[in-house]
């Protein structure tokens, strides 16, 4: 905590879903279109009660599917409205077709999303396979460690997505049930401060101008598709510095600063775990416990997976000897998880890089505990100075 908190915040008890719905209430979007899906159902459900009580001005479009949810949200955003939706798992997969279109049209839609395993078999509990499935859709992806971060991240996502240098949609995720349904004490901004922070939305273009009618969503042939993809790619690159700036400003204003990655006790560390989401909280406790025993261990939490924080990660990893990448999904590429392969790819051209192993864990909500994480640190300590790292990809907590 670098800054003194000037704004008096409210301390409340909220689940992750409640925290995200609270952020949406303060954002007060013009349109929300959503469809229920466990464990994200509550977000739109709670928001609906805000609509019913007249606490927001939102037109709530209760669609018949997630595909229509994102389609209607896209339509609303193209009409110049601030529009949001929320979903999880199969719902996100059903939206998948529309997600890259939203990005290409440069519509800054923010979507709270609860990480849940994808079918099959059907499973309603947490892993990251849904979000990872959509990782190349052109959406910014921000992972939350707890309900506080979920709230903060939704507010920041609006600032990031709507920044003229970005104009990209953003997913803000929590871990299914672990965060979405876990009650925590969090701090929220007073409504007036939140609204001032969010500010008024000014769309880059709108369909609702009949004097200057525009055509949106044209078909590109070979002569323009490439030129239309480049700005999306460049916006994703530009988003990195904007995300950092927004996170820093948020810290200065409200005492909770954010970055693309969070380094926890890595300054003199030799071994570290890289993970996303709620596991970071558990791993931090293990780091603290091992530190009291004199072990030089730390943790790197990837808060923003898209854009992928290549520069920050390579810098953070340059001083480490051994790293275990935790993936809560498998790429089914025959070689580990998506976070692992991206971290390896980021490091390939670095002169200073640690040994890297990969753990796939927690699929379908399988619990991960401090003992398992401690065992991984023990392994990292044993391999950090040896030539042989053993199995590169391992599966944690599965019965074989």
Q: Which residues in this chain contact another protein in the complex, by CB under 8 A? A: 30-31, 33, 57-59, 61-65, 67-68, 71-81, 83, 97-98, 101, 104-107, 167, 204-205, 207-210, 212-221, 223-224, 227-228, 230-231
Q: Residue 373 Cβ, how far from another protein at the closest point, in Å?
A: 43
DSSP string, 158-175: HHHHTSTTT---EEEEEE
> How far, CA to CA in Å, does 162 sit from each of 32, 157, 167, 186, 195?
17, 8, 5, 25, 15
Q: Residue 52 Cβ, how far from another protein at the closest point, in Å?
A: 15
The β-bridge relationship of strands 184-188 and 10-14 is antiparallel
- Ramachandran angles phi, psi of 330, nearest 5°: -120, 140
**Do residues 33 and 85 touch, judged by C-beta distance below 8 A?**
yes
Q: Residue 90 Cβ, how far from another protein at the closest point, in Å?
A: 15
Q: Residue 26 Cβ, how far from another protein at the closest point, in Å?
A: 16
Looking at the Cβ atoms of 57 and 292, the one nearer to another protein is 57
CA 12 to chain centre: 23
Q: Is the dihedral of CA 251, 151, 119, 124 positive or negative?
A: positive
Looking at the Cβ atoms of 52 and 183, the one nearer to another protein is 52
Q: Residue 300 Cβ, how far from another protein at the closest point, in Å?
A: 34
For residue 276, the tally of other CB atoms under 10 A from its CB is 27
Q: Residue 31 Cβ, how far from another protein at the closest point, in Å?
A: 5
Q: Residue 154 Cβ, how far from another protein at the closest point, in Å?
A: 20
| 322 half-sphere exposure, CB direction, 13 A CA radius | 21
Looking at the Cβ atoms of 209 and 352, the one nearer to another protein is 209
Looking at the Cβ atoms of 32 and 356, the one nearer to another protein is 32
Looking at the Cβ atoms of 215 and 333, the one nearer to another protein is 215
Looking at the Cβ atoms of 100 and 397, the one nearer to another protein is 100
DSSP string, 51-110: HHTTSS--EEEE-SSHHHHHHHHHHHHHTT--EE--EEHHHHHHHTTTHHHHHHTT---E
Looking at the Cβ atoms of 106 and 296, the one nearer to another protein is 106
Q: Is the dihedral of CA 122, 125, 127, 131 positive or negative?
A: positive
């Amino acid at each position: 905590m670098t800054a003194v908190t000037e704004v008096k915040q409210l301390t409340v008890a909220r689940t992750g879903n409640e925290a995200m719905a609270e952020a949406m209430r303060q954002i007060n979007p013009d349109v929300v279109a959503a469809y229920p899906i466990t464990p994200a159902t509550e977000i739109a459900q709670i928001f609906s009660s805000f609509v019913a009580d007249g606490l927001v001005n939102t037109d709530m479009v209760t669609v018949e599917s997630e595909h229509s949810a994102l389609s209607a949200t896209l339509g609303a955003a193209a009409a110049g409205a601030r529009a949001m939706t929320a979903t999880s798992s199969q719902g996100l997969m059903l939206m998948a077709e529309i997600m890259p279109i939203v990005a290409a049209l440069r519509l800054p839609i923010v979507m709270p999303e609860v990480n849940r395993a994808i079918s099959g078999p059907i499973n309603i509990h947490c892993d990251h396979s849904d979000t990872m499935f959509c990782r190349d859709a052109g959406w910014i992806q921000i992972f939350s460690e707890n309900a506080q971060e979920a709230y903060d991240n939704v507010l920041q996502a609006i600032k990031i997505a709507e920044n003229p240098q970005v104009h990209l949609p953003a997913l803000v995720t929590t871990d299914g049930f672990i965060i979405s349904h876990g009650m925590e004490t969090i701090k929220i901004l007073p409504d007036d401060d939140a609204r001032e922070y969010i500010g008024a939305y000014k769309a880059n273009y709108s369909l609702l101008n009949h004097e200057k009618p525009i055509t949106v969503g044209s078909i590109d042939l070979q002569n323009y598709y490439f030129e239309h993809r480049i700005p999306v790619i460049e916006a994703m690159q530009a988003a990195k510095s904007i995300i950092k700036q927004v996170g820093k400003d948020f810290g200065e204003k409200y005492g909770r600063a954010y970055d693309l990655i969070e380094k926890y006790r890595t300054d003199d560390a030799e071994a570290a775990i890289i993970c996303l989401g709620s596991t970071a909280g558990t791993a931090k406790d293990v780091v603290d416990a091992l530190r009291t025993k004199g072990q030089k261990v730390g943790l790197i939490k990837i808060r923003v997976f898209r854009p992928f924080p290549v520069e920050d990660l390579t810098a953070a990893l340059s001083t480490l000897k051994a790293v275990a990448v935790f993936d809560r999904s498998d790429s089914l590429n025959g070689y580990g998880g998506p976070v692992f392969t991206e971290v390896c790819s980021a490091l390939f051209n670095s002169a200073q890089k640690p040994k890297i192993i990969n753990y796939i864990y927690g699929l379908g909500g399988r619990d991960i505990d401090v003992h398992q994480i401690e065992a991984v640190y023990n392994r990292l300590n044993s391999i950090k100075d040896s030539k042989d790292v053993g199995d590169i990809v391992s599966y944690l907590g599965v019965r074989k």
